[in-house]
Amino acid sequence: MRGDILLAMRTAAKEANRAAAMQIAAGSAWWLFERASFADCLSMVEAARAIPGDCAPEHEATALYACVFVTRLWGDRRAAARYLELMQEAALRSEDPGFHALVRMGAAYQAAVTGDPAEAEKVLAAIDEDVRAVTGWVRHDLLISRAVALRDIGKPARALADLSEAHRMADAAGDSYGVKNAVYVTGMILLSLRRAREAVQVLRIRVVRGLETEDWVSALSAIAVIACACHVLDRNELGAELFAGVDTIGKRFSYAPISEDFFPVYRDRLREALPADKWEAALRRGEQLSFRDLVRQAQSF
């Protein structure tokens, strides 16, 4: 973590200035998240939350939103749910309609994942005007969240349209993380439609942007989805190598591809497609890959 940020946070804590501390946390948490400093991200936010007093709800919601992403990435559902609840409470204290829309979009996502497509469609229709009205990173995240909800209720074409808009918007704004986020979800949806070659082409953008911005986790997570695509493309040994490489190198960055309804499914398909000796040999090759060689393997189609 940068020394100037630490000094600013320590000064705010010493002066019991929760407002300043939360403002620092809101700006720093996402910077740390994008650089895979996940533990530092959480500790920064928790340090700000430990200071008594009032703060801008927008800053608090933004900081807590980063914690939601960290804990989801770690697969800690309980912590993610807790941070999401805290984030929603802070967002509803805000007068910013964009934060209110994020909360309502969360309700649509929840309905989608719990198998209530009618309720999800109802909520999505109710907040459609809000999505069109807001700008900036909030609009981008609303588009991404709506795309995920649409995917989960069986509307992939509409989901891909939202993701395309989110990609263009982030690219025009110079928002590298926004681009990486949009293409990641796009790649997963294309793969679910068995459009594996298109998925790989899109995911390469995330790999390249991840390397450019030293966001190693974005690069690794894209390679993990490319590993899944290998099964559809009948490149099963390569898929096993990529998974093993991601598993091994991911330990350095506290990352593992663990999304229960996605990565394990494709990992099992790859294992079933290979004789046991070829599966084990592919895993051994993958475990020996350097990060550079892993990227080269992922780009080898």
Close Cβ partners of 220 (under 8 Å, ≥ 6 residues apart): 210, 246, 249, 250, 253, 255
Tokens 């190693």 sit on residue: 216
Mean pLDDT within 86-104: 91
Tokens 């600013």 sit on residue: 8
Residue 72 has a pLDDT of 81
| pTM listed for this prediction | 0.87
**Are the CB atoms for 224 and 262 separated by under 8 Å?**
no
Check whether 4 has a pLDDT greater than 80: no
Rounded Cα–Cα distance for residues 55 and 132 (Å) = 28
159 vs 80, more confident = 159
Close Cβ partners of 185 (under 8 Å, ≥ 6 residues apart): 144, 147, 148, 151, 159, 163
Q: What value does the mean pLDDT of the chain take?
A: 91
User: What are 136's two structure tokens?
Assistant: 């900036």
Residue 287 has a pLDDT of 97
N residues, the chain: 301
